[in-house]
Amino acid sequence: MRRLQKISQALAVLKLLFEHFGDDISDTLNKPLSDFLSEDHPIWLGEMPDFAKVITIHHLLSHTSGLDATHQPLLYSPGERYRYSNLGYILIGHIIQSLTTEPIDSYYKRALFDPAGMQNTFLVLDGIPASLQNNPAFSALVPGFEKNGDQIQKIADKPDFSKLFTAGGIISTPIDLVKWQHALYQGRIIPLKLLQLMTHPVIEKSGFAFYDGEGSLYAGYGVDVLDNGRAMLYQHCGGTSGYQSKISYDPKTQISIINLSNIMEDNPSIFAFTNQLSNMISRINDETEDAK
């Protein structure tokens, strides 16, 4: 569940920065990567790139870094525009690991999943779905499929979780995700002050694929913020080989929409369906306000 992983990373790094640097982490978010990942860190492959002294955690969290590849020129100046970057969130994963002495999967369980009561959610750092089914904890894991035109093909060897690192290796269930939504937005995982920082709109995601909702869509930290002028909706969507997901939350009604699929397709119907439900919730909110 790649997009759940992004919001988990945002939570983890905000939580650790809060613990290390105190209540006001705004200055810390604007420190360069070189302040957190040393020149000899393995992620740099022997040489720290120049962008490490310019790009900040804020840029990584909001997908405004301009990153393309580790030793390639930036696509644009950091902060200039939005462009989704898995590499940015892999770097966040390494920053998280630098800030805790625990293995990162153990940290996620203790600091993020356990407070929400999530008993069937795991950060997986190695293996493929077929091999994981030998583990009793993953015995109910459904296989993934890919759809190309009218053809649907089962995928047994993807995704390779060792390649995803922290960019998309979370396995969960719909029930756990409902628990996650309510725990997160009620301030039981991170303080409400950090939640407000995470859900603050940073930059508009113009032309974003899979979105046909009503209103403007903005990038926050690991979460998308939909603003229709009357209410906010928080959502995140994405996928990896054989799997796709879209999760939405309306803070006013506290309604969660959890939509998961084990079919990867170019124009996923689950995204359109979730958009329709989100639009319906927004209209209900509008009608409720008009009736007051």
Per domain, the residue ranges of the chain are 2-102
Mean pLDDT of 268-275: 64
Check residue 190 and give its pLDDT.
Answer: 95
187 dihedral zone (left: phi>0; alpha: psi -120 to 50; beta): left
Q: How confident is the model at residue 199 (pLDDT cuts 50, 70, 90)?
A: very high
Alpha helices, H only, 36-119: 57-61, 86-99, 104-108
pTM given for the model: 0.86
Mean pLDDT estimate for the chain? 84
| β-bridge mates for residue 256, sequence order | 249
Mean pLDDT of 113-131: 86
- The residue assigned the tokens 């992620």 is 43
Check residue 2 and give its pLDDT.
Answer: 46
33 token code pair = 């990567």
Question: Is the separation of the CB atoms in 223 and 199 below 8 Å?
Answer: yes
Check residue 171 and give its pLDDT.
Answer: 85
User: Pick from 145, 167, 29: which is nearest to 88 by CA?
Assistant: 167
Q: How confident is the model at residue 163 (pLDDT cuts 50, 70, 90)?
A: low
Helix 2-21 with 86-99: angle, nearest 10 deg: 40
More confident residue, 34 or 146: 34
Question: Is the separation of the CB atoms in 188 and 116 below 8 Å?
Answer: yes
Check residue 213 and give its pLDDT.
Answer: 55
Contacts for 103 with CB less than 8 Å, ≥ 6 apart: none
Question: Is the separation of the CB atoms in 177 and 247 below 8 Å?
Answer: yes
C-alpha angle with apex 258: 144 to 136, nearest 5 degrees? 50
